Structure 1
Amino acid sequence: MTGRADLTPPRRRVPRLEDITLADIPPEVGLFPLPGALLLPRGKLPLNVFEARYRALVDDALASSRLIGMVQPSREEDDSDGESPGLFAIGCLGRITSFTERADGTYALALTGIARFRILREDKLRCGYRVARIDSSSFIGDLMEPDVPSFDRARLLDALRGYFARRGLSARWSLIDDMDDMSLLTTLPMMSPFDVLEKQALLEAPTLDDRVRALHTMLDAPA
């Protein structure tokens, strides 16, 4: 006896975060351009998604690799005039690791940074959102367990406190003090109110040592 054919397409296997390799990174990814939003490998970025085109981006990502390309526009103008703003060449892939879909179709989600990428070229829009061919081969080290550099943690935290004080900002210092070194070097750049160019410089820093040096330059700058 012949059984009924199962026409349900097989579900795409989504690897665990710790198992992702370069082969799991698709050659094409949907982009979420957002000025001032810095995502670093192993960092966690909360997002509220309400525009129809970016809801479509989230829907498509959830149905496939769960990956979204976070990238900063290279200029701050919006694209309400029909012209998409230019983008920086380097962004960071974020994996959707939690999400809530609200009754109105908007999303609250969290992205975990996987690896940086370079935009090779943009393709045509898909459901209103931008799509690009990407290459992460230059950032394969982002997928490996990092070697945390030796740095003067007390000096870095003192510089951060001074930076916040000069700008009249507050922070939950007890939580920051309790972070391990790797979390500190990831979370501190993402949470600090640096400008677009400064955040891009932190993203593009070749090594963690370079990131520490860039942080000191930014934190020690006068208000």
Structure 2
Amino acid sequence: MQELPLFPLNTVLFPGGALPLRIFETRYLDMVSACLRTDRGFGVIAIHQGQEAGNPPASIHPIGTLARIVDFDQLDDGLLGITCLGIQRLQVLDHRLQPDQLLLGQVRLLPDDPSLSPRRDHQPLARVLQDLLEREELRPYSRFLTPNWDDAAWIGNRLAELLPLPLAVRQRLLETTEPLQRLDALLAILHPYTD
């Protein structure tokens, strides 16, 4: 178990995925500075109820992802832009609010997904993902990826990030511990479009 700063968001980050963020609140500027200074990560946690900015969220989902900052830059609007990479799923066992309104969590890192090859019936999903990653607007995202087309977890995680899915569906896919089950769920969602 370890203590990590938590960044509650209205999105889900999966292991191996890249997430660009615009940082403007003092608590998160301080968190980014500390993470860069100490080479530590932070937890990206989906908001269950509440808002991203301002007051801390009323509730967060218990499963999220350890993230590490892999790039940062000052944006044209003067805000800090960072790109973080999803490292490993985590479970928030407890959390508390610091005086600066930063959420700190007692977390346990969860095991990596088993390395399994996708089944033949999952091939349409790989084709959908290939088509998505070839899109011009996703080039900034895909430059941080390490493709592994033989890994069911990698394919499922990328599709879960990129498809326009509701937050609750993405969260369920993150909480799924079997990569082939994740692909089966995505296949069911995309079935009308892949025939």
Normalising by the residue count of structure 2, what TM-score does the alignment of the two structures yield?
A: 0.77
Q: Secondary structure at the match of 2:35?
A: helix
- Does the residue aligned with 1:152 lie in a helix, a strand or coil? helix
Question: How far apart, CA to CA, are the structure 2 residues paired with 1:86 and 1:221?
Answer: 34
Unaligned runs of 5+ residues in structure 2 are 139-146
Whether the aligned pair in 1 keeps the contact of 2:23 and 2:80 (CA below 8 Å) is yes
Distance 1:221 1:33 in 2: 33
Alignment correspondent of 2:5: 30
| Residue ranges of structure 1 left out of the alignment (5+ in a row) | 1-25, 162-169
What corresponds to 1:208 in structure 2?
179
Query: 1:190 and 2:165 equivalent?
Result: no
Q: Say if 1:72 and 1:88, in contact at 8 Å, map to a contact too.
A: yes
1:9 paired residue number: none
The structural deviation recorded for 1:48 is: 1.8
Q: 1:221, 1:195 → 2: CA distance?
A: 17
Q: 1:152 to 1:96 in 2, by over 3 A?
A: same
Equivalent position of 1:131 in the other structure: 104
For the residue of structure 2 that corresponds to 1:69, the secondary structure is strand
2:41 corresponds, among 64, 67, 73, to 67
Q: Distance in 1 between matches of 2:134 and 2:182?
A: 21
Q: Please say if residues 198 and 218 of structure 1, whose CA atoms lie closer than 8 Å, have aligned partners that are also in contact.
A: no
**Residue 140 of structure 1: SS of its match in structure 2?**
coil
C-alpha displacement at 1:156, in angstroms?
A: 2.4
Question: Could you say what the CA RMSD is over the residues aligned between the two structures, in angstroms?
Answer: 3.2
Q: Structure 2 residue aligned with 1:54, among 28, 36, 54?
A: 28
TM-score by length of 1: 0.68
Matches within 5 A, 1:1-223: 27-35=2-10, 37-77=11-51, 80=54, 82=55, 84-101=57-74, 106-125=79-98, 127-136=100-109, 139-142=110-113, 146-156=115-125, 171=132, 180-182=149-151, 183-220=154-191
Task: Percent identity, please.
Answer: 25
Deviation of residue 128 (structure 1)?
2.6
Between the aligned partners of 1:204 and 1:30, the Cα distance in structure 2 is 20
Q: What one-letter code is carried by the residue in structure 2 that aligns with 1:149?
A: P
Shift of 1:97: 1.5
* SS of structure 1 residue aligned to 2:116: coil
| 1:108–1:124 CA distance, 2 compared to 1 (3 A) | same
| 1:117 match: secondary structure | strand
CA contact (8 A) 2:50 2:57 kept: no
- CA shift, 1:152, in A, is 2.6
In structure 2, do the counterparts of structure 1 residues 60 and 132 end up closer, same or farther at CA, with 3 Å as the change threshold? same
Question: In 2 relative to 1, CA 97–174 (structure 1 residues): closer, same or farther, beyond 3 Å?
Answer: closer
Distance 1:40 1:91 in 2: 8
- Paired AA for residue 209 in structure 1: L
- SS for the counterpart of 1:189 is helix
